[in-house]
Amino acid sequence: MGSTELIVEPGRQDVVVVHDFDVPPEVAFRAYTDPALMPRWKGSDRFTVVVDEHDLRVGGRWRLVMTRSDGVEYPMRGVFHEVSAPHRLVSTFEFEPGGPGALQLLVETFEPTPGGCRLTSVSLFASVEDRDRWIPSGGFESGTRASMEALDRELAS
């Protein structure tokens, strides 16, 4: 299983997630972007996930809804701005109106390593204030770690 590092530096408007996978970039990228697999790892066991739309191409839209066990829904959406499989993905991310958080630009890279590949995911916010409001809004750190662990399990199966 890989390791996950979250980097949240004071005064910056980004959050960086680094995760090492035990598989090559082609395998990790495919699993990471496959809408049929996303419900198995996104949000791990804390949420059920329904992928409503996932048009993996430049200009394509994505939308999914994560639902907590108490029925609270978190619909989120975005647009793909770059799809360079299996190494780079650039998209926007936002919760739908009324949800927590702010618009983000996500730049995700999958780089080969001797043991597999490294995912580096940079979430760029419009301001430091937006980022700082978003971080404590819903278990970002624990949810990210749980999702990466669930994706590791999916890749191992």
User: What is the residue range of 52's domain?
Assistant: 4-156
Compute the Cα dihedral for 34, 57, 138, 96 and give only its sign.
negative
Q: How far apart, in whole angstroms, are the C-alpha atoms of residue 131 and residue 109?
A: 21
Could you tell me if 102 and 125 are in contact, meaning their C-beta atoms sit under 8 angstroms apart? yes
CATH number at residue 99: 3.30.530.20
Q: Is the predicted pLDDT of residue 12 greater than 80, yes or no?
A: yes
Count of domains in the chain? Answer: 1
pLDDT of residue 77: 96
Average pLDDT over residues 120-133: 92
Q: Tell if the pTM clears 0.85, that is, is over it.
A: yes
Report pLDDT for 108: 98
In the numeric block, which tokens belong to residue 155? 């890749």
